[in-house]
Amino acid sequence: MVEVYELLTVVVSLIVVKLFHWIYQWRNPTSNGKLPPGSMGYPIIGETFEFMKPHDVLQFPTFVKERVLRYGPVFRTSLFGAKAIISMDLEMNVEIAKANHVPGVTKSIARLFGKNNLFIQSKQSHKHVRNLTFQLLGPQCLKLRMVEEVDLLARTYMEEGARNGCLDVKETSSKILIECLAKKVMGEMEPEAAKELALCWRYFPRDWFQFSWNVPGAGVYRMMKARKRMMKLIKEMVLKKRASGEEFGEFFKIIFGEMEGGAEKMSLTKQHQSPGILAATVKLISDHPKVVEELNKEHEGIVRGKTEKEAGLTWEDYKSMTFTHKVINESLRITSTAPTVLRITDHDFQVGDYTIPAGWIFMGYPNVHFSPKKYDDPLVFNPWRWKREDLSSILSKTYIPFGAGSRLCVGAEFAKLQMAIFIHHMFRYRFIFITY
Ligand code: HEM
How much is the pLDDT for 429?
A: 85
* 315 CA from centroid of ligand 1 (Å): 22
Distance CA 208, CA 80 (A): 11
* Nearest protein CA to atom 2 of ligand 1, as residue: 274
How much is the pLDDT for 262?
A: 43
Q: Name the least confident of 15-19, 76-80, 219-223.
A: 219-223
For residue 431, give the 3-state DSSP assignment: coil
Among candidates 273, 261, 284, 396, which has minimal Cα distance to 330? 284
261/80: higher pLDDT: 80
* Nearest protein CA to atom 29 of ligand 1, as residue: 411
58 assigned to some structural domain: no
pLDDT tens per residue, range 145-156: 889 989 999 999
* 105 CA from centroid of ligand 1 (Å): 13
How much is the pLDDT for 268?
A: 42
Among candidates 174, 170, 172, 175, which has minimal Cα distance to 194? 175
pLDDT band at 133 (very low <50, low <70, confident <90, very high): confident
* 418 CA from centroid of ligand 1 (Å): 14
Q: Which residues line ligand 1 (CB under 6 A)?
A: 97, 103, 119, 130, 137, 177, 181, 268, 270-271, 273-274, 277, 340-342, 401-405, 407-411, 414-415
Among candidates 418, 297, 381, 350, which has minimal Cα distance to 74? 350
285 assigned to some structural domain: yes
358/423: higher pLDDT: 423
CB atoms within 10 A of CB 14: 10
22 assigned to some structural domain: no
pLDDT tens per residue, range 51-74: 988 888 788 999 999 999 999 999
Distance CA 73, CA 407 (A): 23
264/414: higher pLDDT: 414
Distance CA 168, CA 36 (A): 43
How much is the pLDDT for 269?
A: 43
Host domain of residue 214: 107-344+389-426
Is the pLDDT confidence value at 214 over 70?
no
How much is the pLDDT for 267?
A: 43
Query: Could you tell me the CATH number of the domain that includes residue 422?
Result: 1.10.630.10
Q: What is the mean pLDDT of the chain?
A: 82
Helix axis angle for 412-426 and 289-304, nearest 10°, is: 90
Q: Which ligand 1 atom is the nearest neighbour of the CA of 338?
A: 10
72 assigned to some structural domain: no
Find all residues with CB under 8 Å of 110, minimum gap 6, and list them: 117, 120
Mutational pocket test of ligand 1: of 206, 402, 408, the residue with most ligand atoms within 8 Å of the beta carbon = 402
How much is the pLDDT for 281?
A: 95
Q: Where are the alpha helices (DSSP H) in 2-47?
A: 2-27
Domains of the chain: total: 1
Q: Say whether the ipTM exceeds 0.95.
A: yes
62/260: higher pLDDT: 62
* 214 CA from centroid of ligand 1 (Å): 25
pLDDT tens per residue, range 67-99: 999 999 999 999 888 899 999 999 999 999 988
Is the pLDDT confidence value at 335 over 80?
yes
pLDDT band at 297 (very low <50, low <70, confident <90, very high): very high
Dihedral-angle region of residue 187 (phi above 0 means left; psi in -120 to 50 means alpha; beta otherwise)? left
Handedness of CA 297, 299, 305, 308 (dihedral sign): negative
* Nearest protein CA to atom 15 of ligand 1, as residue: 341
Q: What DSSP line would sit under 131-184, residue for residue? A: HHHHHHHSHHHIIIIIHHHHHHHHHHHHHHHHHHT---HHHHHHHHHHHHHHHH
Q: Which ligand 1 atom is the nearest neighbour of the CA of 342?
A: 15
Is the pLDDT confidence value at 265 over 50?
no
Is the pLDDT confidence value at 402 over 80?
yes
Describe the strand order of the beta sheet including 74-79 as a list of residue ranges.
74-79, 82-87, 361-364, 341-344
284 assigned to some structural domain: yes
Q: Which ligand 1 atom is the nearest neighbour of the CA of 133?
A: 35
* 56 CA from centroid of ligand 1 (Å): 22
pLDDT tens per residue, range 154-188: 999 999 998 998 999 988 888 888 788 777 666 66
Q: Please give the angle made by the CA atoms of 400, 332 and 352, to the nearest 5 degrees.
A: 25
Average pLDDT over every residue of 218-231: 69
Is the pLDDT confidence value at 200 over 80?
no
* Nearest protein CA to atom 12 of ligand 1, as residue: 403
324 assigned to some structural domain: yes
Q: Which ligand 1 atom is the nearest neighbour of the CA of 364?
A: 15
How much is the pLDDT for 64?
A: 96
Average pLDDT over every residue of 318-330: 96
357 assigned to some structural domain: no
Average pLDDT over every residue of 419-431: 92
3-state secondary structure 65-134: HHHHHHHCCEEEEEECCEEEEEECCHHHHHHHHHHCCCECCCHHHHHHCCCCCCCCCCHHHHHHHHHHHH
| Residue 200 labelled as part of a binding site | no
Mutational pocket test of ligand 1: of 57, 170, 204, 271, the residue with most ligand atoms within 8 Å of the beta carbon = 271
* 411 CA from centroid of ligand 1 (Å): 6
- 79 strand-pairing partners: 82
* Nearest protein CA to atom 6 of ligand 1, as residue: 402
Average pLDDT over every residue of 178-199: 70
160 assigned to some structural domain: yes
**How far lies 431's CA from each of 165, 186, 330, 423, in Å?**
10, 35, 21, 12
How much is the pLDDT for 142?
A: 84
How much is the pLDDT for 261?
A: 46
pLDDT band at 322 (very low <50, low <70, confident <90, very high): very high
* Nearest protein CA to atom 30 of ligand 1, as residue: 411
Find the distance separating the first CA and the last CA of the chain, reported in whole Å.
Answer: 67
Mutational pocket test of ligand 1: of 137, 402, 406, 409, the residue with most ligand atoms within 8 Å of the beta carbon = 409
Tell me which range, 145-149, 178-182, 193-197, 328-332, is most confidently predicted by mean pLDDT.
328-332
* Nearest protein CA to atom 18 of ligand 1, as residue: 409
Average pLDDT over every residue of 272-296: 91
Task: Give Dmax (Cα) for the chain.
Answer: 100
Distance CA 251, CA 342 (A): 28
How much is the pLDDT for 50?
A: 92
